[in-house]
Amino acid sequence: MSSHPVFARLYGRFAPAAEQAGTGEHRDELLAGLRGRVIEVGAGSGLCFAHYPNTVDEVVAIEPEPYLRRLAEKAVGVAPIPVRVIAGTADNLPADDESFDAAVASLVLCSIPDPRRALEEIHRVLHPGGSLRFYEHVRSSDPRQAHFQDRIDGIWPFFCGGCHVNRESESAISAAGFSIERSRRFDFRPCAIAAPASPHIIGEAVRL
């Protein structure tokens, strides 16, 4: 979403309402038990920051979109742990090899132009055995709903900052050299318009 100023403003305006509808609880689940140095990829307006446990030493939050990055910089104040917000993209993470204990991908693999490359980068910057926490909306396991998602994906990214509704993010994570330790599938839509993006996964993968 590095150049989607209209969607960025809409996301900044409406995402907080989704937090009340359940996204906030999902963020608690996503981040529970994390420790050490964490890199968050595509941090958006920083809505995860308040949910990090105090066992985390530092979060480096990468965000390419300037408006959302400014919101994220303001959200640093609500985080219980130190957070640094840095401009950058997931396909070329500004981080050394094997320099993080954990990585977080929250509602982001849908929007990254090249998720395979992004996952390779996340793999590169994690220690072997490091944890990738993921919370993503994905392609439905119901063929009829998946077919509907494929159709609507012809226009959805144009209106939603490059977001795709039909990505198979769990298999992409496995293919990038991670072992899925746990993954929970559920339907969630914080508002009616989000129906095509209702199938979600949340879980943890370990860097092999």
Ligand X SMILES: C[S@@+](CC[C@H](N)C(=O)[O-])C[C@H]1O[C@@H](n2cnc3c(N)ncnc32)[C@H](O)[C@@H]1O
Q: What residues make contact with ligand X under the rule CB under 6 A?
A: 1-2, 11, 15, 41-44, 47-48, 62-65, 68, 89-91, 106-108, 111-113
* Cβ-closest position to ligand X: 44
Report, in Å, the least distance between residue 143 CB and ligand X: 26
Report, in Å, the least distance between residue 4 CB and ligand X: 7
Q: What are phi and psi of 153, to 5 degrees?
A: -65, -10
Report, in Å, the least distance between residue 156 CB and ligand X: 12
Give 167's contacts (C-beta < 8 A, 6+ positions apart): 109, 110, 115, 136, 138, 139
Helices (H), the chain: 5-18, 24-31, 66-75, 115-125, 143-152, 156-159, 169-175
Report, in Å, the least distance between residue 18 CB and ligand X: 9
Distance, CA of 49 to CA of 75 (rounded, Å): 7
Its sign, for the CA torsion 165, 172, 200, 62, is negative
Is 15 or 50 the residue whose CB approaches ligand X more closely?
15
Distance, CA of 164 to CA of 39 (rounded, Å): 23
Is 31 or 145 the residue whose CB approaches ligand X more closely?
31
Report, in Å, the least distance between residue 108 CB and ligand X: 4
Distance, CA of 18 to CA of 41 (rounded, Å): 20
Is 96 or 128 the residue whose CB approaches ligand X more closely?
96
Is 94 or 128 the residue whose CB approaches ligand X more closely?
94
37 C-beta neighbours (distance < 10 Å), count: 19
Is 80 or 128 the residue whose CB approaches ligand X more closely?
80
